[in-house]
Amino acid sequence: FVEALADPSETWRGLSLTMPLKHVAAEAATTLDRAARLSGAANTLVPGEEGPRGFNTDVAGLVAAIREQGIEDAGRARILGAGATATSALLALEALGAREIDIRARRPEQARPLVALGGQLGLRVTAAPLDAPHPRSSPGADPALTIATLPGDAEPAASVLEEIVVPGGLLVDVVYGTWPTPLARAWESAGGQAVSGLPMLLHQAVRQVRIFTSGDVDEPLPSESDVIASMRRALVED
């Protein structure tokens, strides 16, 4: 089916893909952009003369969503979870200038590829269990930004929440089917700000449209601010 996209008689601009197809799409692509290559996941495929071109717009979408919240320099940040989405989160934090990233996961050993990728990118990445004690006595130990990639219906135990909730910090919980999540509720109850994955969904889609119209993920659409406003209204209404 993917090979047929290059048929001149077809009118496909490309494909927008979600799990569990992102890794399959990356394997099917002839070329990958940097985000897709480093994450091993592509959510966008477009026909090319030499085969399908693969892109990962989740990374740029997450960066744009975080910048909307006023964060330009992530500095010290944290990722909850060590699955596929956590890789895009790590790449987004790199783009936001993060230098230290603390990964908390139910099984820290699953974070080894993320720790290795962080080292490859020149970042200091550590991994610990979700309920590992937080070094509150250390100045600057609290991350200003936490990206949660846990399942939306996951309800962390009280002992876990005690260690991962940062009063006053920003939580970007990338789920959008279930909101607010138990984690988001606990976060806001402690005085922090929690944002769902909807802004990320919006901005990654804008970049997909860029690719489908011009072939360039970095080329803004004509009147892009109007396009974003229209998409945002449709997203909220749905």
Question: The tokens 């908390």 sit on which residue?
Answer: 104
SS3 helix, strand, coil % of the chain, rounded to 5?
Answer: 40, 15, 45
Closest CA to 90 of 110, 69, 70, 62: 62
Closest CA to 92 of 56, 48, 132, 127: 56
How far is Cα 225 from Cα 104, in angstroms, rounded to an integer? Answer: 36
How far is Cα 53 from Cα 46, in angstroms, rounded to an integer? Answer: 5
How far is Cα 232 from Cα 65, in angstroms, rounded to an integer? Answer: 12
| Annotated catalytic residue, options 14, 22, 26, 64 | 22
Residue 22 annotated to the active site: yes
Active site positions, annotated: 22
